[in-house]
């Protein structure tokens, strides 16, 4: 290992990794160093290896300039919303380098290991997920298919909050998903242990939860639109920004 390796930083960026994941990380870092004919593995190699393990292999961009700009604003607002949400995980980096199936990414790192998540934290996650779509609507006057995965994840999380974790004031502390009371194949028959009226109320609560957090995201955009533009322009120039660089851009704008 080179003397510049920051193990605390690597540990913070690999929360939730198994022993096999960590072994894979070190192996990938060693391969990167070997390809560069280096005698030591540096912190840069570990960082690049971590990105490959977590985000996937970097792939050549085939985006048009318009798509690249849209991606920059999309990821910029994920980052901006994450920066301003009080209960969100710490912002780590934002990038518009395509990896795997993704055109870009905004990465956050938990401040500590968690097994239990509060409602405020979960609502902040939904707001951040909706950030890309909100920015596209604001800047380009339309949404795009690029927010598909964000919407799926936000909808799934909101439904868990309402149906399993009792995080709806109107429905109260009830669980509407009890696997102990079901039998194999029951879900295929469309069986529910609650009424159609309750199902409608659940849908309304899920929709309300998402819309309310969308309004929170839009408020961040309205108050920090100049910072949004600054982050997007920096992404178009540098492709990847660290948390320190984002902090500087937000502070100046």
Mean pLDDT taken over the chain? 89
Provide the greatest CA pair distance for the chain. 67
Q: What is the pLDDT of residue 62?
A: 74
Which of 28, 75, 107, 123 is flagged as catalytic?
A: 75
Q: Is the pLDDT of residue 102 over 60?
A: yes
Q: Categorize the per-residue pLDDT at 237 as very low, low, confident or very high, splitting at 50, 70 and 90.
A: very high
**DSSP states of 130-187:** THHHHHHHHHHSS--GGGHHHHHHHHHHHHHHHHTS---TTT-S--S--GGG--TTGG
- How many CA atoms lie less than 13 Å away from 47 in the CB half-sphere? 13
Contact 55, 102 (CB under 8 A): yes
Please state, in angstroms and rounded to a whole number, the distance separating the CA atoms of residues 215 and 58.
Answer: 34
Question: pLDDT, tens digit, for every residue of 116-173?
Answer: 899 999 999 999 999 999 999 999 999 998 889 999 999 999 999 999 999 998 998 9
Q: Is the pLDDT of residue 20 over 90?
A: yes
Q: What percent of the chain has pLDDT over 70?
A: 93
Mean pLDDT within 113-117: 79
Q: Respond yes or no: is residue 75 known to be catalytic.
A: yes
Contact 127, 221 (CB under 8 A): no
Please state, in angstroms and rounded to a whole number, the distance separating the CA atoms of residues 162 and 157.
Answer: 9
The reported pTM is: 0.84
């Amino acid at each position: 290992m080179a003397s510049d390796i920051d193990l605390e930083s690597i540990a913070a960026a690999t929360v939730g990794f198994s022993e096999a994941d960590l072994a894979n990380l070190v192996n990938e870092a060693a391969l990167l160093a070997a390809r560069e004919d280096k005698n030591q593995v540096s912190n840069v190699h570990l960082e690049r290896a971590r990105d490959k393990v977590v985000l996937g292999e970097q792939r050549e961009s085939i985006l048009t300039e318009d798509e690249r700009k849209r991606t920059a604003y999309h990821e910029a607002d994920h980052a901006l919303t994450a920066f301003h949400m009080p209960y969100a995980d710490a912002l780590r980096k934002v990038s518009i380098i395509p990896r795997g199936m993704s055109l870009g990414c905004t990465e956050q790192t938990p401040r500590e290991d968690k097994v239990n998540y509060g409602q405020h934290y979960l609502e902040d996650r939904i707001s951040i997920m909706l950030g890309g779509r909100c920015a596209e609507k604001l800047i380009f006057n339309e949404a795009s298919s690029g927010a598909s995965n964000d919407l799926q994840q936000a909808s799934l999380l909101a439904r868990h909050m309402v149906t399993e974790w009792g995080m709806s004031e109107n429905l109260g502390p009830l669980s509407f998903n009890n696997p102990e009371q079901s039998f194999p194949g029951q879900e295929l028959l469309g069986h529910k242990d609650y009424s159609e009226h309750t199902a409608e109320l659940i849908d309304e609560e899920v929709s309300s939860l998402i819309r309310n957090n969308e309004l929170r995201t839009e408020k961040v955009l309205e108050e920090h639109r100049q910072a949004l533009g600054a982050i997007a322009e920096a992404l178009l120039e540098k492709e990847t920004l660290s948390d320190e660089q984002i902090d500087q851009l937000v502070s100046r704008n």
